[in-house]
Amino acid sequence: MIDWLRLAESLISSPWLYAVLAAVSFLDSFLPLIPSEPVVIVAGVYAATGQTDIVLVIAATTAGAFLGDLLPYSVGRLLGERVLKRLPPGSKRRAAHDWFARELDARGGFVLVTTRFIPVGRYLATLSTGLVRYPVGKYVLFVAFATASWSAYTALTGYLGGVVFQENTLLGIAVGVGLAFVVTGFIELVRYLRRRTVTAAVGD
């Protein structure tokens, strides 16, 4: 298995770093075990010392993540008709499918943007979005915004850690990763509380 973090650190001063960032972000869109966040954070930390270009870090990461998110969506659309045929009207699975389609129609942007910050969540959301045949135009628009936001946040988290701890790169990386976990956890907490509120409202 490729050690993406070590590979990125070995190429910090090379233009090939941006190809690595694009590749790891692309793969992480549908392979949850690929650690894109730490790699992007490291690139952001080194941008604070001038060894990488923060704009190129964000651009490469955005491009890779955007293309990566198109893959599970495309697979979902190809399988959508077959899946629908196996969900007879009136069944619980068909009801769940129809509910998710309505949710996406009402708040697709919120779903796609927030799940982008959750490693496994981003894959499940993009695949499921394809399965219910969410409109391509809306999907591309929301995913473009989601991946750009995620890339900027992840890279700038590392950059901030690098600026604050310029004399201690390892501490800067640790702080960057820690901030990423905190924000991701906060997003997941908000989603959990929102689901509980909706469930309670339906129960009433």
32/125: higher pLDDT: 125
Can you give the pLDDT at residue 157? 83
pLDDT in tens, 83-105: 777 766 777 766 776 777 777 77
Average pLDDT over residues 185-197: 59
Distant-in-sequence contacts of 186-192, Cβ < 8 A, 24+ apart: 187/114, 187/117, 187/118, 188/118, 188/121, 190/114, 191/114
Domain ranges of the chain: 4-203
Q: How far apart are the first and last CA of the chain?
A: 51
Can you give the pLDDT at residue 20? 94
30/168: higher pLDDT: 30
CB 5 within 8 A of CB 46: no
Helix (H) or strand (E) holding 40: helix 36-47
pLDDT in tens, 136-177: 998 999 899 889 988 988 898 888 876 654 454 455 445 545
Can you give the pLDDT at residue 154? 87
Q: What's the length of the chain?
A: 204
